[in-house]
Amino acid sequence: MIQTLFGSTENKPGLFDRMKEAVARTRENLSERIDEVVAFNKEIDRNTLDELEATLLGADLGSATTHQVLEKLRERADRKQIKDGEELKRLLKEELLAILTAANTPPVERPEGVPEVVLVVGVNGTGKTTTIGKLAQTLRSDGKTVLLCAADTFRAAAIEQLEIWGQRTGTEVIRTRAGGDPAAVLYDALEAANARHIDCLIVDTAGRLHTKTNLMAELEKMRRTAQRLIPGAPHEVLLVIDATTGQNGLQQARQFTDAAAVTGVVLTKLDGTAKGGVVVAIARELGLPVRYVGVGEKAGDLLRFDPNEFVESLIS
């Protein structure tokens, strides 16, 4: 489903079938729910909308965002401005879309001839390394030269994992020994990217809980290192968020933005049944755009984020 929604780069029936099946299995999708509620109540009033609250909450939008979205619709409903279920769906989509598009700012412009430096951060287990592998693939198929930097020197076999992705995508990986200084390997990678006139350097970092102050400070140090060697770097700081994440995702976004100046979000594991609605809350509160979504474990399973399609998938 998502595959078609987001405009796939590849044609893969397996995934399509899986997604369709998943969606079919979740009989609580908002669209059906609206039809059901409207059929029962005939008229759209406050009570109709209360019924929808649970569905928005169930998509991990959080109570504050859910409340805001529904409040606007309630006002309209009070003035009897919502004709039928179709219009309610349209208005709901508009509200959600407004939040996402307001945050959808393009990455900063960078000077000509300078390698783009992308720092990838996030808590443990969200899929940073896998995302980097897929991102390398995407950029390489766009004809760009890519270099990877294995700055997760902490987790067991994280470097090896990135190296396998390097082999799969034909991308070189700059590495150091396990337990080495992440800022030092970043320094080497930045120099290599400069010397070889690479288009894009993607930096893998160790997963860290946003509550660990010393580890968050390490990210600041890496930022400074990047800045010293390449003007304006890192040009993009991507926070990887797992679609199954609940309201703690907001806290992650806040803390990582404070420490590492996040510029965008990658929403991973969207091929499951989780809707990833917390990114709407993140967009609303922090104005952070979603850049990519991850929909599988293969190199091609990374898609550019499209707010329209995402809202569609939230509701359907």
Binding residues for another protein, per CB under 8 A? 18, 21-22, 25-26, 54, 57-60, 62-63, 123-127, 133, 154-158, 160-161, 163-165, 168, 178, 209-211, 242-249, 251-252, 269, 271-275, 278, 297
Which residues does 93 contact at the CB level (< 8 Å), separation at least 6?
311, 312, 315
Q: Where are the beta strands (DSSP E) in 15-171?
A: 116-121, 146-151
Backbone angles phi, psi at 166, to 5 degrees: -60, -45
Instruction: State the nearest-atom distance from the C-beta of 150 to another protein, in Å.
Output: 11
Nearer to another protein, 52 or 230 (CB): 52
Whether a cis peptide bond, with omega within 30° of 0, leads into 234 is yes
Can you tell me the distance from the alpha carbon of 124 to that of 240, in angstroms, rounded to the nearest whole number?
A: 10
Using a 10 angstrom Cβ sphere, with 0-12 exposed, 13-18 middle and 19 or more buried, the burial of residue 271 is buried
Nearer to another protein, 227 or 244 (CB): 244
Nearer to another protein, 182 or 249 (CB): 249
**DSSP for residue 289:** P
Can you tell me the distance from the alpha carbon of 289 to that of 304, in angstroms, rounded to the nearest whole number?
A: 12
72, 87 in Cβ contact below 8 A?
Answer: no
Nearer to another protein, 26 or 141 (CB): 26
**DSSP for residue 9:** S
Beta strand pairing status for 200-205 and 146-151? parallel
Nearer to another protein, 1 or 88 (CB): 1
Nearer to another protein, 139 or 250 (CB): 250
**Letter string b/e over residues 293-314, b meaning 16 or more CB atoms within 10 A of that residue's CB:** bbbbebbbbbbebbbebbbbbb
**Which has the closest alpha carbon to 173: 155, 156, 151?**
151
Nearer to another protein, 230 or 253 (CB): 253
Nearer to another protein, 206 or 230 (CB): 206
Instruction: State the nearest-atom distance from the C-beta of 131 to another protein, in Å.
Output: 11
Instruction: State the nearest-atom distance from the C-beta of 271 to another protein, in Å.
Output: 7
Quick one: CA dihedral 306, 74, 288, 22, positive or negative? negative
